[in-house]
Amino acid sequence: NGILHVVFIRYRRRQAKQVWLARLEDPYREVLLSYANSTSSEGNWLPFEYAGQLYVSYKLCPHRVLAVNVTTGICTLAYETNRIGCNLRERGSASGMGQLLGENALGLGHFKRYAHYRHFFFERASEPPFPILRASDEFRFPTPFEDNVLQPLRKSGQALPSTISDKHIQFALSLRRSPLQSGTVLAPPTAVHAAPVTEDGNTRSGCAGRDFGDLVADVGAADLMGFTTRIERGTFCSFTGWCECGLNATYGSALSPALPGRPSLSRPAVSHEPSPLHSVVAAGREPSPLHSVLAA
C-alpha cells in the first residue's frame, strides 16, 4: 500500500527470538508477527510485497509463504511449494531484489554445516505461488574480522575461543544493487537473446536490460561486526551461471572485468570447504579474491 515497513528480530531471552513488524511512517507502531505453526524461537523471515499485500518467506525448504496482516500481525499460510533437492536446513538471509533475473527475484539464503555458516543465492518467481526456482552452489563471504582483528590478537598471545570468528559465524542481512559507476558503458539489451530457453525447454521471458552495477551485501561477522561487500557482476555470473538474462541482458556477453592482468572468471572447483566468491588464475590455480570491502 506504499507505506514503508521493516521486519526485525527481538529477543525475549537467550535463544528465544520473536519477529516484529514496524511501520516507519506516521503513525509509527510495532506489532508482533504471529503464526499458528511457529516455534518457540523464530527468525529469518524474508518480507516481500505483491499487489499491495505483504508476504514473508517463512521457510525455504519447502518454500512456505505467509500473508501478513500489517494491523494485527497475524500471519496465515498463503502458498507452499517444493524445490527438488532442497536442504531442510535452508534458512532465509536476504529477500533481495526483483527484476534482476528477468522478472524474478534474487535472494540469499544460508544454512549451517559443522558450525560454519554457508550462503547461497536463490531465484524466486515473482508471481504466486512464488516457487523458488533454483539455488546456487554454497559459498562463504570474506572474513575481515578474523583477518584484521582476531588474528593480530591471537598472534599477540591473547587466548580467544576459535568459534568467535567470521570464519564460523557470518550472516548476510541484505542484498541490493550497487549504483553504476560513472563512465560505465552498458551493452544494449538487443545484444543478447531476448528470450533464452531454460533447461525444461520453456522460454524465459522478461529479459530486458536493467541499469545497475555490481551486487552489494551487508554481512554480520561473528555477531560482533558488520561489513559491506561488493560482488562483482562478472563474479556472480561466472559463479552461478545464471546470466542468460538479467545481468547478461544489461552488460552483454563481455562480463569479465576489462582490467590489465585480471584473470578470467570461472566457477570454483567443487569442495567440501566452500571459499569466498573468487576467480581462479589459469596458470597457478591460486584463488584471487574479487571482493572489495566498502565499509566496516
Q: What is the pLDDT of residues 100-148, one digit of tens each?
A: 777 899 999 999 888 889 999 999 999 999 999 999 999 988 888 888 8
Cβ atoms 63, 77 nearer than 8 A: no
- Integer Cα distance of 263 and 76 in angstroms: 49
How high is the mean pLDDT of the chain? 75
Please name which of 99, 97, 95, 133 lies closest in space to residue 249, comparing C-alpha atoms.
Answer: 99
Mean pLDDT of 201-228: 67
Mean pLDDT of 262-266: 33
What is the per-residue pLDDT across 218-251, written as a single tens digit (0 to 9) for each? 999 888 888 888 888 878 888 888 876 444 444 4
What residues does 132 pair with on adjacent strands? 124
Q: According to the model, what pLDDT value does residue 75 have? A: 98
Please name which of 241, 215, 239 lies closest in space to residue 97, comparing C-alpha atoms.
Answer: 215
253: pLDDT strictly greater than 70: no
Q: Give me the percent of the chain exceeding a pLDDT of 90.
A: 41
151: pLDDT strictly greater than 50: yes
Mean pLDDT of 203-221: 62
